């Protein structure tokens, strides 16, 4: 499994209620659609989430060890703590079940790693936690667990904050484009999803071009009445084309694209913005 955090690593070197009385407020379980889908908003209160941590601490040494630190985290991150605990304690009947506690399967007890890293990240790298929450909110349990198993090193890289924040609005689109289709009985889609995120959260990515992509999607939806407009994000965000040139080409794109669409042509929007080529 690829690890997003490695991109940034290169070159840088209790008391309380008894367990039987705790009734957790959980978000997962039952049938769910495979791949990408948006979960309902988390409406649990801070009190409920703290009770969830107590519940999991009674049953998981990984949580018990860091229980006090977890409970002292920023309240807006407690939902993620509970979600990770729940995902780590759920078993799928699929052949591709991911056990985040199984060091033989995922390399180490990833559940324990997240519990240890979350409190510090809540203080020093909150963008990474909010990004992780967005991944959980936009994918099924298998994809969420694959991300957790492969991307925990992201918590160690606050220097990636701006890239993480710029990529967060794109998680839903990336999930839809990489996780769609039928069950494959392997982790190929999940790997594609995480690798795609890694292409954005990458030292070679152009932050300003990433920030521009939501605007490009919106513009494409506005003017694409006939034909199809393609947005090829990966070469675009890694290109060395100056933003001044991109914006200059963007001004004329609607007019040029409109004519091309009327002729029934398909358009590579990002290629045009980088090179302003004829749409023949």
Distance CA 260, CA 217 (A): 18
- Each residue's pLDDT tens digit, 137-182: 999 999 999 999 999 999 999 999 999 999 999 999 999 999 988 8
Q: In this structure, are 120 and 253 located in the same domain?
A: no
Number of domains in the chain: 2
Residue 253 lies in a domain: yes
Answer yes or no: do 216 and 249 share one domain: yes
pLDDT band at 260 (very low <50, low <70, confident <90, very high): confident
- Taking phi over 0 as left and psi of -120 to 50 as alpha, with beta for the rest, 142 belongs to alpha
Residues 54 and 163 in one domain: yes
- Contact between residue 129 and residue 160 where contact means Cβ atoms under 8 Å apart: no
In a shared domain, residues 54 and 190 = yes
Beta carbons of 111 and 149 less than 8 angstroms apart: no
Band of pLDDT at residue 110, cut at 50, 70 and 90: very high
Does residue 259 belong to any structural domain of this protein? yes
Q: Considering only 11-15, 46-50, 67-71, 179-183, which range has the smallest mean pLDDT?
A: 11-15
Nearest Cα neighbor of 230 from 271, 200, 274 is 271
- Residue 48 above 70 pLDDT? yes
Instruction: Report the percent of the chain where pLDDT is more than 90.
Output: 72
Q: What is the pLDDT of residue 195?
A: 97
1 falls within a domain: no
Distance in angstroms (rounded) separating the CA atoms of residues 274 and 277: 9
For the segment 220-246, the average pLDDT, to the nearest whole number, is: 88
pLDDT at 180: 87
Q: Give the pLDDT confidence score for residue 127 in this predicted structure.
A: 98
Q: Which candidate, 126, 125, 145, places its Cα nearest to that of 135?
A: 145
pLDDT at residue 278, rounded to an integer:
52
Distances in Å between the Cα of 60 and the Cα atoms of 65, 122, 141, 202, 256 are: 9, 21, 20, 34, 60
Give the pLDDT mean for 58-66: 97
Instruction: Output the average pLDDT for the chain.
Output: 89
Are residue 77 and residue 13 in the same domain, yes or no? yes
CA dihedral 178, 183, 184, 190 (to 10 degrees): 40
Does pLDDT of 279 surpass 60? no
Looking at the structure, do residues 135 and 217 belong to the same domain, yes or no? no
Give me the pLDDT at residue 19, please.
46
138 falls within a domain: yes
What's the pTM? 0.89
Asked which of 151, 182, 200 is the last residue of a domain, the reply is: 200
The domain containing residue 223 runs over which residues? 207-275
Residues 128 and 223 both lie in one domain: no
Same domain, 84 and 215: no
Residue range 196-216: mean pLDDT, rounded: 97
Residues 233, 109, single domain; the answer is: no
Same domain for 57 and 11? yes
The label of the residue with tokens 């909110």 reads 137
Last residue of a domain, one of 162, 182, 200: 200
- 80 and 168 together in one domain: yes
Which of 1-5, 40-44, 271-275 bottoms out in mean pLDDT, i.e. has the lowest?
1-5
The predicted model gives 41-67 an average pLDDT of 97
pLDDT at position 199, please? 96
């Amino acid at each position: 499994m690829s690890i997003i955090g490695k991109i940034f690593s290169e070159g840088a070197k209790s008391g309380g209620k008894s367990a039987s009385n705790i009734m957790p407020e959980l978000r997962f379980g039952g049938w769910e659609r495979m791949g990408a889908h948006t979960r309902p908003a988390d409406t649990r209160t801070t009190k409920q989430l703290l009770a969830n941590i107590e519940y999991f601490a009674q049953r998981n040494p990984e949580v018990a060890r860091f229980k006090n630190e977890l409970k002292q985290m920023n309240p807006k991150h407690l939902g993620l703590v509970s979600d990770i605990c729940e995902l780590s304690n759920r078993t799928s009947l699929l052949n591709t079940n991911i056990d985040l506690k199984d060091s033989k399967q995922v390399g180490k007890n990833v559940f324990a790693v997240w519990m240890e890293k979350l409190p510090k990240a809540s203080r020093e790298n909150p963008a990474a936690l909010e990004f992780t929450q967005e991944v959980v909110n936009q994918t099924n349990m298998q994809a969420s667990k694959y991300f957790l198993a492969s991307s925990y090193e992201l918590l160690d890289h606050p220097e990636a904050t701006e890239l993480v924040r710029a990529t967060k609005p794109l998680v839903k689109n990336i999930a839809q484009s990489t996780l769609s289709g039928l069950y494959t009985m392997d982790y190929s889609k999940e790997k594609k999803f995480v690798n795609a995120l890694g292409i954005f959260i990458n030292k070679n990515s152009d932050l300003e071009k990433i920030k521009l992509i939501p605007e490009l999607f919106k513009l494409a939806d506005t003017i694409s009445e006939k034909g199809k407009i393609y947005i090829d994000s990966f070469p675009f965000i890694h290109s060395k084309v100056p933003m001044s040139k991109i914006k200059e080409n963007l001004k004329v794109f609607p007019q040029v694209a409109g004519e091309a669409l009327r002729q029934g042509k398909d358009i590579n929007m990002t290629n045009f913005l980088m090179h302003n080529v004829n749409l023949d």
